[in-house]
Amino acid sequence: MPFEGFGSHGLHLPISRRQALMKSAAGFGSLALASLLTESPRAAPAAGSVDPLAPRAPHHPARAKRVIFLFMSGGPSQVDTFDFKPLLTRDNGNPLPFDKPKIQFNSTGNLLKSPWEFQQHGASGLWVSELFPNLARRVDDLCMVHSVYGTNPAHGGAVMKLHTGSDNFIRPSLGSWVSYGLGTENGNLPAFVTICPTLAFGGINNWSSAFLPAAYQGTPLGNASIASDQARVKYIANSRLSREMQRLQLDRLYALNREHQARTAIEDSLEARINSFELAFRMQSELPKIEDLSGESAATHALYGLDNPVTANFGRMCLMARRFAESGVRFIQVTHNDNKVQWDQHADLKDGHEKNAREVDLPIAGLLYDLKARGLLDDTLVWWGGEFGRTPTAEGNNGRDHNPDGFTMWLAGGGAKGGLRYGSTDDYGYFAAENKVHIHDLHATILDLLGLDHERLTYRYAGRDFRLTDVEGNVVRELYA
């Protein structure tokens, strides 16, 4: 009897696929084949039939087909960006009139008003601070969730919780779960890419597939220490050999492998590995095409701020994200991180947040505009936020500490309701108060928008059915358009 304990699959794939998924993982797409030669033909059916990344039908009709996650590393301050708190301004310098959380990262003093003015914008009248003048013009596309909360007040735990749903175990990341659930629409590209991710605070675990098959892991382009125009997939190009020469090599390799296969009489063959070279060769030409932005118009370059050194680095990531989205990549993450943990203003709030906002405001507004103009925003879910927010109380006299207890994230497109203001924090913006949305709830909601039921998207590992939301998670349907 075949052992079903390991590869059991919430999507009810046929057994052969389950088994193949467990060991094969044919890379980015098309080919496949269980690679373990020692496995049976039953476990390794004909090439093509077990592609772990073939597009798959969702559990229920999807509102979004793909996700662009704009990760603001370090934790932007909700009370200085989107969560307007008049009482914080009024009571500036007074003590917080209620208890701070039992567990804090650092200790903070009295209330600190935002150095920035807020105004209402658009038909929806959502509040946006003067940090985001360009994004303010797109508020009617934004679905503001003011009552997000997490559990971990340190970067490491919070970043991992945000990406994987767990802050102390190694678990598959959200992008991997999405790739596992839906596959990809472009077999020549990875299903899940992450542009300039930070290598700290969990590093690769934030885009790894953990116990899911390797085909679902995220593919990084560079990392946060590399400028986005230098960010590449590892080993994607050959520094010495021409494409023509590599073609000669591949043809010779193909012949060698076929002869070997004939001699060893292994019926399952090393087909998967043979094909993987062909796919790699195609990827080699496909990926640089997406990374090459020279074909985009001057207007587009300006739209994303590529013509300005302040916005060019992040703008390029946003434009690449749009191009990946267009090409059928399922989950695209863009990370805004510099060598000081970008949004982590324990001190120097004024200059720090101003610099950070200036770098991302125009590119994000450009991305939303561009997606909409191309009709992509309808089925692309854009998700913005950091691993936590910041305290309304002061750290020093010009800083704010980590605050996982209440902060703002926003969604746009992909079935999220534009112009919505959902949930709230208390009068000072410290704790999520009304309609609280835990990170798990947000994960459940994102999966649900993609047509996946977070309770049914499971994978059996080490004797247990795991899921992204563990035993938590409520879908917040109030956010839907």
Q: Which of residues 185-214 bind other proteins (CB under 8 A)?
A: 198-205, 208, 210, 213-214
- Using rule CB under 8 A, residue 57 touches other proteins: no
| Closer Cβ to other proteins, 8 or 308, answer by number | 8
- Using rule CB under 8 A, residue 327 touches other proteins: no
**Residue 416 in tokens:** 């999220």
Return the residue of 10, 17, 18, 25 that touches other proteins, per CB under 8 A.
25
Residue labelled with tokens 């496909």: 286
CB of 132 to other proteins, least distance (A): 24
- Using rule CB under 8 A, residue 283 touches other proteins: yes
- Using rule CB under 8 A, residue 219 touches other proteins: yes
Site string for other proteins, 343-382 (x = CB under 8 A): -x--------------------------------------
| Closer Cβ to other proteins, 3 or 99, answer by number | 3
Return the residue of 92, 110, 246, 308 that touches other proteins, per CB under 8 A.
246
Segments in 86-223 forming alpha helices (H): 86-90, 155-164, 174-182
CB of 413 to other proteins, least distance (A): 25
| Closer Cβ to other proteins, 87 or 154, answer by number | 154
3-state secondary structure of 194: strand
177: exposed, middle or buried (C-beta count within 10 Å: 0-12, 13-18, 19+)?
buried
Return the residue of 9, 11, 28, 82 that touches other proteins, per CB under 8 A.
28
- Using rule CB under 8 A, residue 8 touches other proteins: no
> Rounded CA gap, 166 and 443, in Å?
12
- Using rule CB under 8 A, residue 37 touches other proteins: yes
Residue labelled with tokens 């839907």: 480
- Per CB under 8 A, contacts with other proteins among 440-459 are 453, 455
3-state secondary structure of 299: helix
Site string for other proteins, 136-175 (x = CB under 8 A): -----------------xxxxx--x------xx-x-----
Return the residue of 261, 308, 327, 398 that touches other proteins, per CB under 8 A.
261
CB of 306 to other proteins, least distance (A): 22
Q: Say which residues have a Cβ less than 8 Å from residue 253's Cβ, sequence separation at least 6.
A: 277
339: exposed, middle or buried (C-beta count within 10 Å: 0-12, 13-18, 19+)?
exposed
Task: Give the chain's end-to-end CA distance (angstroms, integer).
Answer: 48
> Rounded CA gap, 415 and 276, in Å?
36
> Rounded CA gap, 43 and 45, in Å?
6
- Using rule CB under 8 A, residue 397 touches other proteins: no
Q: What is the DSSP letter of 431?
A: S
Return the residue of 49, 92, 110, 249 that touches other proteins, per CB under 8 A.
249
**Residue 466 in tokens:** 């795991």
Residue 289's nearest CA partner among 320, 247, 253 is 320
